[in-house]
């Protein structure tokens, strides 16, 4: 029996990112603009949920971790908890996050560690998520004046949550700060190809106490969590 220690904070941070974004994407079910998109967003959500489940089960009980923790115990970045907004806002969030997650998983898969196997599996899934976000960014940016305005507004509005992606995570064998230049290249390239403008506002919120990785979350997160957790909390131990 080998004794390896799973980096708890790192596993939880990545798991919470995946779970929270999965839940947000799941909120599109029944509301997406066309059936094909509904299927696409639900499939992306399912991939993320699968990643979250693997990561949670590495450090504890999946249900306890997903359904019984309070808001301040969640370590996801604030970007993924933002409300879906219009379709452009969801795509901007997907573009920013999938490009980050793809780079991060790529590095983790190459690094030696407990998270390498999951990352090697998931990096291929994320390549499809990223492709989906890129194609939509191009189509909306280079589309009608309405779609273009909305896509630009969405990129600008979510920009303030992108800086947090590159803050260090305890126990993670990869320094997220080292991904920043490549992330800017990829995201910037897509934005320019979509004939849009790179946002130039601050890439962080003015709140100095920290952000999602420290358990500090934005206003919509509490309500999302309440909805996500209420069934489990109302019926402890219930099963299908």
Q: Using the rule CB under 8 A, which residue among 6, 26, 46, 218 binds other proteins?
A: 46
- Of 93 and 129, the one with the shorter C-beta distance to other proteins is 129
- Of 50 and 220, the one with the shorter C-beta distance to other proteins is 50
Of 41-49, 89-97, 179-187, 230-238, the segment contacting other proteins by CB under 8 A is 41-49
Q: Judged by CB under 8 A, how many residues of this single chain contact other proteins? A: 29
Of 129-137, 166-174, 183-191, 232-240, the segment contacting other proteins by CB under 8 A is 129-137
Q: Does 47 bind other proteins (CB under 8 A)?
A: yes
- Of 53 and 204, the one with the shorter C-beta distance to other proteins is 53
Which has the closest alpha carbon to 13: 133, 229, 165, 189? 165
**Cα–Cα distances in Å, from 220 out to 89, 112, 216, 223?**
15, 36, 12, 6
Give the binding site for other proteins (CB under 8 A): 36-37, 39-40, 42-44, 46-51, 53-54, 116-118, 120-125, 127-128, 131-132, 135
């Amino acid at each position: 029996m080998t004794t390896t220690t799973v980096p708890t904070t790192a596993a939880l941070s990545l798991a919470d990112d995946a779970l929270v974004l999965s839940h947000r994407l799941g909120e599109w079910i029944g509301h997406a603009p066309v059936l094909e998109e509904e299927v696409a967003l639900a499939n992306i959500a399912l991939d993320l949920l699968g990643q979250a489940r693997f990561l949670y089960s590495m450090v504890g009980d999946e249900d306890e971790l997903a359904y019984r923790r309070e808001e301040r115990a969640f370590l996801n970045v604030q970007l993924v908890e933002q409300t879906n907004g219009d379709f452009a806002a969801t795509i901007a969030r997907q573009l920013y996050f999938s490009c980050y997650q793809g780079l991060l998983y790529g590095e983790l898969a190459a690094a030696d560690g407990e998270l390498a196997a999951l990352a090697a599996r998931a990096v291929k899934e994320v390549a499809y998520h990223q492709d989906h976000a890129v194609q939509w960014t191009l189509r909306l940016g280079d589309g009608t004046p309405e779609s273009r305005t909305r896509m630009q507004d969405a990129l600008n509005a979510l920009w303030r949550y992108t800086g947090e992606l590159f803050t260090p995570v305890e126990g993670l064998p990869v320094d997220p700060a080292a991904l920043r230049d490549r992330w800017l290249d990829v995201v910037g390239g897509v934005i320019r190809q979509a004939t849009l403008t790179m946002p130039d506002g601050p890439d962080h919120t003015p709140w100095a106490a920290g952000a999602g990785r420290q358990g500090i979350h934005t206003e919509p997160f509490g309500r999302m969590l309440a909805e996500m957790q209420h069934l489990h909390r109302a019926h402890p131990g219930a099963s299908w």
